Amino acid sequence: MTDEKILYFLAVLFILLTILDLIIYKTCIFERPLEVLPIILSHRLVWIFGNFGWVFNNKKILIAFLIFQITLMFHWRVNGGCIMTQVQNEICGYPKDTNYDYIYVMLGKKKASIVKSLYFIIIYIFIGYKLSN
């Protein structure tokens, strides 16, 4: 699959997940749209690249994805979680431990952590393979 087709697919995914976000966070969005909407949209972009940036074929994008992942992990460790989630939860009045990632919501934090760890280990191996060719 070409990078252009991947970008189209991720754009459609962005739109679908944003619609889902708008449904889930509708009360907060209608009450404070100028504060919440930019956070939700930018958070969704970060989430999509952070989870699916590895599907691209361009080596520069793959390297950017790896750097992004390292930066993100460092940020989460230093900050005690995602700043975008924290700001969104504060603006919307949600509990501090409300998680933005639907995988965590569906599976629970412990199971989701194991699944996501395995997911990213496989991705990093795959990226290493892609970059070596």
Q: What percent of the chain has pLDDT over 90?
A: 44
Alpha-carbon torsion (99, 103, 109, 84), positive or negative: negative
The answer to whether the beta carbons of residues 36 and 91 sit under 8 Å apart is: yes
How many structural domains does the chain have? 1
Q: Which residue segment(s) compose the domain that 98 sits in?
A: 3-132
pLDDT value at residue 14: 94
pTM: 0.83
User: In 10 A of CB 71, how many CB atoms?
Assistant: 10
pLDDT value at residue 68: 95
Burial of residue 30 (CB within 10 Å: 0-12, 13-18, 19+) is exposed
- Mean of per-residue pLDDT scores for the chain: 87
35-39, 63-67, 99-103: segment of lowest average pLDDT = 99-103
